[in-house]
Amino acid sequence: MNSPLSAYKETSIKTASQGRLIVMLYEEAVRQMELAADLIKNEGKARFDDVNKSITKAQAIISELMSSLDMQAGGEIASNLMNLYIYFNKTLLEGNMEKNADKILQVSRFMDDLRGAWATIENSVPTERAVPRTAINIAG
C-alpha cells in the first residue's frame, strides 16, 4: 500500500508538463550526486555501496535525458547537451571508481546550472495541458 506522500509524488509526476519533468529529473540527479558526495566525505568505506547506488541513479537520469534529445529538431543545442551528458557520465564513472567527491560535485554544479536554465524556460513558456502518462521512477 502506498503512503500518501508516495501517491502525491506519483500523481505530480504523471501530471507534470514535459518541461517540469525535465526540471524534476535534474533535481533528482543533483540530489543523488550530493548524497553520494556526502557519503564519500562523511562515511568512509563502509557506505561505498550506497555511494555507487546514488551515482548509478544519477547516471540513469542523465542517460534518460540523453535518450530524450531530438538531435534532428534540436540542432546545435541538442548536440551540445549530448556532449555535456557524455562528459557528465564519464566524470561520474571516474568519481565513483576513485570515490572522488570533488568530481561528483563538479558534475552536480553543472547539472544544477542546467536545472536552473530549464526552470527558467519552463516558467516562461505557457503551461501546456499535462497528459497523464506512465511515471518515471526518479525517486529510486
Q: What is the pLDDT of residue 111?
A: 97
pLDDT at 140 over 60: no
Q: Are 77 and 83 in contact (CB under 8 A)?
A: no
pLDDT, mean of residues 130-135: 52
Contact 118, 23 (CB under 8 A): yes
Q: Is 115 inside any structural domain?
A: yes
- Confidence (pTM): 0.78
- Residue 137 inside a domain? The answer is no
pLDDT in tens, 73-132: 999 999 999 999 999 999 999 999 999 999 999 999 999 999 999 999 888 876 655 555
Rounded Cα–Cα distance for residues 55 and 92 (Å): 7
Instruction: Give the span between the Cα atoms of 5 and 100, in whole angstroms.
Output: 33
Q: Residue 129 falls within a domain, yes or no? A: no
Domain ranges, residue 73: 17-123
Q: Which of 77, 80, 63 is nearest to 136 (CA)?
A: 63
Note the Cα 56 to chain centre separation in Å: 11
pLDDT digits (tens, 9 = 90+) for 50-60: 999 999 999 99
Residue whose grid cell is 542523465? 62
Residue 90, domain member (yes or no):
yes
The domain tally of the chain equals 1
Q: Select from 53, 64, 73, 77 the least CA-distant residue to 26.
A: 64
Residue 4 lies inside a defined structural domain of this protein: no
We report the CATH number of the domain holding residue 69 as: 1.20.120.340
Candidate from 29-43, 44-58, 61-75, 115-129 with smallest mean pLDDT: 115-129
Residue in the structure block whose three cell numbers are 568519481: 95
